[in-house]
Structures are given as structure tokens and as C-alpha cells.
Amino acid sequence: MTHSRTTYLTLWLSLVALLVVAVVVVGGITRLTDSGLSMVEWKPLMGVLPPLNSHEWQEVFSKYQQYPEYQIHNQGMSLDEFKSIFLWEYSHRILGRIIGLVFVVPFIFFWLRGYFSRKLFWQLGVGLLLG
């Protein structure tokens, strides 16, 4: 493997590692702020955007109010308080998507370009399957 290929792979995998650290930190904050379970719907392909106006926020908040998480732990929470916990959970989920893209797209590119040894291909492939 040439020096430039090694550099590209190193930069790519370093970025993935940095994003994993970020998702762990945001996940920890999500947990510590009891923000988990604030998103009662998750549309993996179509649900990229958070609520963008007051009507959408109220609609999402109303759905949240129907779930035990609100009824048992957060009853009486205001819409502004809900927005705060929602955005932590949303950020955590979006970071997960970003990690997936930052791993998969370059993985395919580097594989098609022949950047991987057979051993590295299988190691990263297993990481992809576990990921």
C-alpha cells in the first residue's frame, strides 16, 4: 500500500473514531439529561429534519405526552423543556446516521479503488456488520 493510500485510510478512520467519541459524549448527555425516549417516532429514511415550526413542535410534543415517559417522569413539562430534551436525542440519532455514512461511503470507494488488503477489507467489513 502506498503512503498516500495509508494517509487517506488513516484520516478516514480517524474521522470515524472522532465521530464515535462524539456520539458517546452526546449519548451520555442524552442519558444524563433524561432526554432518551423523547422521540416517539423515528423514520430512518424520511425523518432527517426536526420539527421546524411551532405547529410541528406542538404536534410532536402532543405525541410525546401520550407515552409513559411523559406521563410518569415528565408530566407538566413545558414545550420549551421538551424541545431541549428532544434536541439532545435528535442530535444523538443524527450523529449515528452521520457515522454510518462517513464509514460506508468511503469504505465502498476505497474498496472499489483497491485500497484495502484482503485482511483489512475483512476487518473493516466485520466492523461494518457490527456497527
pLDDT for position 44: 74
- Model pLDDT, residue 32: 94
According to the model, what pLDDT value does residue 43 have?
78
Total length of the chain: 131
Q: Which amino acid is at 74?
A: N
25-41: b (≥16 Cβ within 10 Å) or e: ebbeebeeeebebbbee
CA-based nearest residue to 56, from 41, 72, 71: 41
23 C-beta neighbours (distance < 10 Å), count:
19
> Which pLDDT does position 41 carry in this prediction?
84
CB 77 within 8 A of CB 35: no
- pTM, two decimal places: 0.86
The pLDDT tens digits along the chain (131 residues) read: 678 999 999 999 999 999 999 999 999 999 999 898 888 888 776 678 899 999 999 999 999 999 999 999 999 999 999 999 999 999 999 999 999 999 999 999 999 999 999 999 999 999 899 97
Segments making up each domain of the chain, as ranges: 3-38+51-130
